[in-house]
Amino acid sequence: MKIEVAVNNEDAMKKKGDLLEKIAKDLLETLNYQVATEIRRTGMELDLLCKNKANFSKIVYVECKAYDENNKIQSDVITKLMGIRAHREYEEAWLVSTSEFGKDAKGLVEEIAEGKNSRAFTFYPPERLIEAFVNSKLIKDKKIAEQAVLNVIQEENNLGESTLLVTEYGYFWALEYLSGGKPDGVIFAHAKNGEVVNERPLLGNLASLNTSFKELDFFVVLKFGVQTEKLTPIIDANDCKLNKEYLEQINDLGMKFIHPNNSRFAQFPDRN
């Protein structure tokens, strides 16, 4: 699974980091942490500093790296994380990243996992990060978004790779739409509820972002109309009421019957 933070070309690179920090902050708050951002310490600026609400003495430092997929995490990022934790004597240090580890960084992470301080470090590469978002109910699993898109396009073989897209407009699952076996467009679903995006203004805003799939057709969903799951009415049986004319019609037996206990029979003597 892939995760991508997208901003406009004219936006400062810091904005990508801010967007990743925001969703990371949301994740930590679901884990019962009080989170502070943009913390200044002598000679350094920290991304997130978190105190456990049940135990304020437990402090976690979180470093966020909103890297592009082809920009791997290098070993210097890991050594810096280790140094900050040791210098500031934080109980734990986490790394949240939108890209995978490079070869040297991966080896260093493995060394940490096997060492005496393994419990002090937590690493969230893309797949593990997305899993944490889903488990914390910040977003829906991509399968829900895929099914919502399939309900629209009715073409299972036309879906390609999916990417969790973090933007200033919200969080989205971006699913490739294939034509002739090749990516031709991209269809979005809101990551928080799985509903397919078909509002032209929002699609236009997403198309303006600098994404890895910017050259694809962001409006391809519109050729399928606006038929999405949320537009299909769900009828509750408790809301159904039959009108008086219809009730009289279905209760009409087609002939007249009088019950033997009816008072009108009292004028006739019992023949027995």
Domain spans, the chain: 2-135, 142-231
Using H for helix, E for strand and C for coil, what is the string for 141-152? Answer: CHHHHHHHHHHH
Instruction: Report how far residue 192's alpha carbon sits from residue 172's, in angstroms, rounded to the nearest whole number.
Output: 8
Computed over its alpha carbons, how large is the radius of gyration of the chain?
Answer: 30
Give the pLDDT confidence score for residue 267 in this predicted structure: 47
Report the pLDDT value the prediction gives residue 193, as an integer from 0 to 100: 95
* Beta carbons within 10 angstroms of residue 169's beta carbon: 15
Cα gap 139→199, rounded to integer Å: 20
Of residues 74, 125, 128, 71, the one with CA closest to residue 95: 125
Adjacent-strand bridge partners of 61: 49, 93
Q: Residue 208's Cα: distance from chain center in Å? A: 21
* Residue 247, pLDDT score: 54
- Residue 246 has a pLDDT of 53
In this prediction, residue 182 carries a pLDDT of 94
- CATH architecture for segment(s) 2-135: 3-Layer(aba) Sandwich (3.40)
Q: Which residues of the chain are modeled with pLDDT < 70?
A: 38, 40-45, 226-272
Find where tokens 């884990």 sit. 31
Taking the C-alpha atoms of residue 251 and residue 213, their distance in angstroms, rounded to an integer, is 63
Q: List, as own/partner pairs, every contact residues 70-73 make where C-beta atoms lie below 8 angstroms and the sequence separation is at least 24, other chains included.
A: 70/99, 71/99, 72/99, 72/100, 72/101, 72/102, 72/105, 73/97, 73/99, 73/100, 73/101, 73/102, 73/105, 73/125
Position 231 scores a pLDDT of: 38
Sheet of 92-97: strand order equals 33-41, 44-52, 55-65, 92-97, 121-124
Q: How much is the pLDDT for 154?
A: 87
SS3 129: helix
pTM (two decimals): 0.79
